[in-house]
Amino acid sequence: MPLRRVVITGTGSVSPFGRGVDSLLSALLRGESGIRNVPEMAALGTLRTRVAATVPEVDAKEIPRKFRRSMSNMSVFATLACQEALLQAGLGPVECADGLTGVAIGSTVASTRATEDFFVDYLTDRSLERMKSTLFFQIMNHSCAANVAQALGLTGRLLAPAAACATGCQTIGYGYEMIAFGRQERMLCGGADEFHPLTAGTFDIMNAASCRWNEQPRQTPRPFDRGRDGVVCGEGCGILLLESLASAQARKATILGEVAGFATLTDPASIANPNSAAIEQCMRLALADSRMNKEEIDYVNAHATATEQGDIAEGGAIFRLFGGEVPVSSLKGHLGHAMAASGSLELVAAVEMLRRGCLIPTLNLDNPDPACAPLRHIRKVESAAPRAIIKNNFALGGVNSSIVLRSLA
Amino acid sequence: MTEQQIIERINTALAEEFELQPLAMTADATLFDDLGLDSLDIVDLVIVLEGAFGFKIREEEAIRQIRTLGDIHRFVIGKQSTLAKTA
């Protein structure tokens, strides 16, 4: 069965720089940091990291209460980002309800805040009498995807991949495959997450959270830098609206780029430690899926979260596959690590790099660590005309994923 | 607590929980058609009333007959009166 080509006709973003793809790109191009000192984190007595990349307050009330009542913040972020993507693509309620538009949105876990609030109350007397009817819809695994589908009237397929930090690229990859196989015409795809101090705590207890820059939050995280000291957790949502090339062309939609290849694999070597060979294999498989040569890749958007081991493993894999000439950067320095949202938020930025003809540097990369291989790091915004980009996205649990984007301009 | 105070406490609690407009909160307003509530909201409405007045009403047959905001007012006023007599 011939596979169909899949293109991007809309993008949406809620990030530490606020709502909208334009605000995201403007901040990235200006070299702004979305990292803040979060005093609330001091309330967790043993938590050493006190920085996070939180989303400024958004007005959730534009989502009708009927839909909003079952949403935690991550579903609000996802709904607003999907609305932006649909608007850009010129799609409305008719297309949402035609059964050919599906949704693939996942998060690391569902709302930790909602879960915490419930148990704080429940454990006072182990009574369920005060449990609101909408609690479950905020803590079920497919909370974001289901809430988006309800709010937007989507009637196609629903998928809620959960692969922690690799979720963002997995949603896009699985959506791409559904369209390529002809099962759907359009898919709203992306990861979403909301910040909770316990998320930062998860990394902190593994000595993988940034702690040395609590009083200088803009100086961390530092991907590929000698001074890197770990992850800065964040939140948000990035959405790509994927569409079959035939559908996009038939309705004369503006095509922002093509999803040319996808791969995801499991690395059983360790549930926690990155494996450079598996990362390299994942990129090779994505390239093979795209039927492109490695020489055709003009830019690598790295996962690079600024952990000691992760950046070395990924840097080595990139160097072995692409050599030291292909430009590389990580957007974690600007955005922190938005967990499940990171892959898709960074892909939204990558799509804009294709469109705008520029490459965005790694923020806080002042002193490249030679242990991360002699990569061609992007140190300032570069004018370029990238035709193809590969984007990496990895997760605890031994999950790797890579996406190849290609320009159709 | 006077009946008017009870009504005000009910209306304040429901307006906050369900984002109702004060002008729409007339005694003859039906919960589903006029105020836009649904079955999930009714579950939470009981929880809100229990929290606002400190009583337990979930298992009471009378709440199944409630159709309007005025029905809620009368039910709670009656409940408070009964509780006062048995206190």
Instruction: Count how many Cα atoms sit within 13 Å of the Cα of residue A221 in the half-sphere of its side chain.
Output: 32
d(CA A301, CA A316): 14
Measure the N-to-C terminal CA separation of chain B; round to a whole number of Å.
14
* Chosen from A133, A138, A147 to mutate, greatest number of chain B CBs within 10 A: A133
Distance, in Å, from the CA atom of A342 to the CA atom of A396, rounded to the nearest integer, reads 14
B49: helix, strand or coil: helix
Q: Do B50 and A129 touch (CB under 8 A)?
A: yes
SS (H, E, C) A78-94: HHHHHHHHHHHHCCCHH
Question: In the block, which residue shows the tokens 């105070």?
Answer: B5
Residues from chain A that touch B48, judged by Cβ atoms under 8 A, are none
Q: Please enumerate, as own/partner, the contacts of A112-117 that have beta carbons within 8 Å and a separation of 24 or more.
A: A112/A194, A112/A196, A112/A198, A112/A199, A113/A72, A113/A73, A113/A194, A113/A196, A114/A72, A114/A138, A114/A139, A115/A139, A116/A196, A116/A198
Residues 252-311 of A with CB under 8 A from B: none
For A139, the token pair is 């803590």
Report how far residue A248's alpha carbon sits from residue A4's, in angstroms, rounded to the nearest whole number.
Answer: 12
- Quick check: A65 and B19 CB within 8 A? yes
Residue A328 neighbours by CB under 8 Å, 6+ apart? A299, A300, A302, A315, A318, A362, A375, A376, A377, A378
Domains, chain B, with CATH or none: 3-86 (1.10.1200.10)
Tell the residue number behind the tokens 């294709």, with chain if given.
Answer: A354
- Phi and psi at residue A399, in whole multiples of 5°? -115, 125
- Per the CB < 8 A criterion, the answer to whether A110 and A340 are in contact is no
Q: What is the pLDDT along chain A (409 residues), one digit of tens a residue?
A: 679 999 999 999 999 999 999 999 999 999 999 999 998 899 887 899 999 999 999 999 999 999 999 999 999 999 999 999 999 999 999 999 999 999 999 999 999 999 999 999 999 999 999 999 999 999 999 999 999 999 999 999 999 999 999 999 999 999 999 999 999 999 999 999 999 999 999 999 999 999 999 999 999 999 999 999 999 999 999 999 999 999 999 999 999 999 999 999 999 999 999 999 999 999 999 999 999 999 999 999 999 999 999 999 999 999 999 999 999 999 999 999 999 999 999 999 999 999 999 999 999 999 999 999 999 999 999 999 999 999 999 999 999 999 999 999 7
Give the whole-angstrom CA distance, residue A335 versus residue A249: 34
The per-residue pLDDT for A185 is: 98
Would you list the DSSP string of A199-237? HHHHHHHTT-B--TTTT-GGG---TTBTT---B-BB-EE
State the pLDDT at residue A44: 86
pLDDT at A155: 98
Collect all residues of chain A within an 8 Å Cβ-Cβ radius of residue B19.
65
Cβ-based neighbours of A338, under 8 Å, separated by 6 or more: A15, A53, A168, A191, A193, A234, A235, A236, A238, A345
Nearest to A156 by CA among A105, A81, A203, A214: A105
CA angle A15, A17, A22 (to 5 degrees): 90
B84, pLDDT greater than 90:
no
Q: Which residue bears the tokens 């009330």?
A: A61
- What residues in B contact A59, CB-CB < 8 Å? none
CA distance A305 to A222: 8
Per-residue pLDDT, A1: 67
Assign A139 to helix, strand or coil: helix
Enumerate the residues of chain B whose CB falls inside 8 A of the CB of residue A65: 18-19
Q: Which element (helix H / strand E) includes B39?
A: helix B39-53
Residues 6+ apart with CB under 8 A from A6: A176, A179, A180, A242, A243, A244, A245, A258, A259
- Put simply, whether B16 touches A (Cβ < 8 Å) is no
Find the distance separating the first CA and the last CA of chain A, reported in whole Å: 27
DSSP per-residue letters across A332-368? HHHH-B-GGGHHHHHHHHHHHHHHHTEE---TT-SSB
> Which residue from A261, A357, A377, A359 is spatially nearest to A314, judged by alpha carbons?
A377
Min Cα separation B56/chain A (Å): 9
Tokens of A252: 């004369």
B40/A129 CB distance under 8 A = no
Residue A44 DSSP symbol: S
Which positions ≥6 away from A360 have C-beta within 8 Å? A28, A29, A329, A331, A334, A349, A353, A378, A381
ipTM given for this complex: 0.91
pTM score: 0.96
The pLDDT assigned to B86 comes to 82
Per-residue tokens: A163: 């692969």
